[in-house]
Structure 1
Amino acid sequence: MKHQLLQRSVVYNGRAFSVALHQLRLPDGRTRSYDVVEHNPAVTVVPLTAEGEVLFVRQFRVGSGTELLELPAGVLQDGEDPAEGAAREIREETGFAAGQLHSLGGFFMAPGYSTEYMHLFLATHLSPDPLPQDDDEFLQLVRLPAGQAVAMALGGEIQDGKTLVALLLARSFLPL
């Protein structure tokens, strides 16, 4: 016997996510309730310039209470293809379009309590082609040599999880 969803009820509906109560039957027949953050899939992009730099954004994050150095990322719109979302996000957050996008895979952000799945992409052959930023985003573009970016990730200087995973999965494509 596997886990079986018996009931799902939304207890909070917000702008970015909802919280639902899932009632499950466990493999041993018992039932248990779980709080689940239901979140659209998202994308993170590793933009690599022809000069071997990686483009980051520095932005304030409410959850950490501080500014973080992150790779461009964002939530997919309903039904949006991950590659299309990655192409849109890089233009919104860095002002550059990707001539090529290469999938690096993906992962669940926090599978113990959230449905959010993060798709990862390497973007190359960049050219200026900005889109307007979201009205609540105040981003500072930061360019770092790829080797320095990976060293910062390995040295604990980058604290954003999606950025760490994306950089490490992109390592074999980066000029270190």
Structure 2
Amino acid sequence: MHKFEEKTIKSEKIFEGKVVRLQIDEVELPNGKSAKREIIKHPGAVAILAITPDNKIILVDQFRKPMDRALVEIPAGKLEPGEKPEITAIRELEEETGYACEELELINSFYTSPGFADELIHLYLAKGLKKLDHPKSADEDEFVELLEVTLDEAIQLIQEKKIYDAKTLYAIQYLQLKEALKTHE
């Protein structure tokens, strides 16, 4: 138990949608007072840093309604009930990009917005990519354009604020660090 732990007194479900659930928890604070916490419950997600045999990063350009603009991102998707993250990663890679991979390695898992949401993203590195002749189709409400870029081009997309989401920034910085470590060996 952490010294600043908040004990839940009661929890009220406000909304349950296709992807998220909103609840309001009344909590007892460490000083004995109470407070309310608005919490988004999310099933979790995967993100895939997919690298082609010629060392290009596969990205998807898609419109994101919450920001009311298009973003360039690494492929990603939410976990289905009971699905292991690595299975979700393989499925999402195929559905969004038309690729399969020979090697899938977990880079790290991280919370996206721990102040109000419990979404946990599992970031994978996919190598040994092969274009599939008949890939699974993407979700019917998902429209993406595939991009293949170098690390330098990805950094340019960051500077242009076309890459502007945390998971993709994290993945690109991971690659930059990996490259920097290689040059210092």
TM class by shorter chain equals over 0.9
**Which digits, 9 at most, give the CA deviation of each residue in 1:127-174, with x for residues without a partner?**
123211000001100110133213433664411221111221233456
Work out whether residues 50 and 126 of structure 1, in 8 Å CA contact, stay in contact via their aligned partners in 2.
yes
Name the CA distance, whole Å, in 2 between partners of 1:157 and 1:17: 26
Name the CA distance, whole Å, in 1 between partners of 2:152 and 2:106: 21
**1:34 matched to 2:41:** no
Distance 1:132 1:141, change over 3 A: same
Structure-1 residue corresponding to 2:154: 149
Percent identity over the alignment is: 30
Structure-2 residue corresponding to 1:138: 143
Q: How many residues align?
A: 176
TM-score (norm 1): 0.93
Q: Give the CA deviation at 1:115.
A: 0.7
Work out whether residues 56 and 141 of structure 1, in 8 Å CA contact, stay in contact via their aligned partners in 2.
yes
Aligned residue runs from structure 1 range 1-176, under 5 A: 2-129=5-132, 130-153=135-158, 156-173=161-178
Amino acid aligned to 2:39: V
Work out whether residues 122 and 170 of structure 1, in 8 Å CA contact, stay in contact via their aligned partners in 2.
no
Work out whether residues 43 and 86 of structure 1, in 8 Å CA contact, stay in contact via their aligned partners in 2.
yes
Work out whether residues 50 and 127 of structure 2, in 8 Å CA contact, stay in contact via their aligned partners in 1.
yes
> Which range moved further: 147-156 or 78-87?
147-156
Work out whether residues 112 and 120 of structure 2, in 8 Å CA contact, stay in contact via their aligned partners in 1.
yes
Helix, strand or coil at the partner of 1:133: coil
Work out whether residues 71 and 162 of structure 2, in 8 Å CA contact, stay in contact via their aligned partners in 1.
no
Name the CA distance, whole Å, in 2 between partners of 1:94 and 1:44: 13
Name the CA distance, whole Å, in 2 between partners of 1:173 and 1:49: 16
Amino acid aligned to 2:152: G
Work out whether residues 104 and 170 of structure 1, in 8 Å CA contact, stay in contact via their aligned partners in 2.
no
Name the CA distance, whole Å, in 1 between partners of 2:67 and 2:174: 24
TM-score (norm 2): 0.88
- CA RMSD in angstroms comes to 1.8
**Which digits, 9 at most, give the CA deviation of each residue in 1:82-115, with x for residues without a partner?**
1111111100000001110111102111111111
Name the CA distance, whole Å, in 2 between partners of 1:74 and 1:170: 21
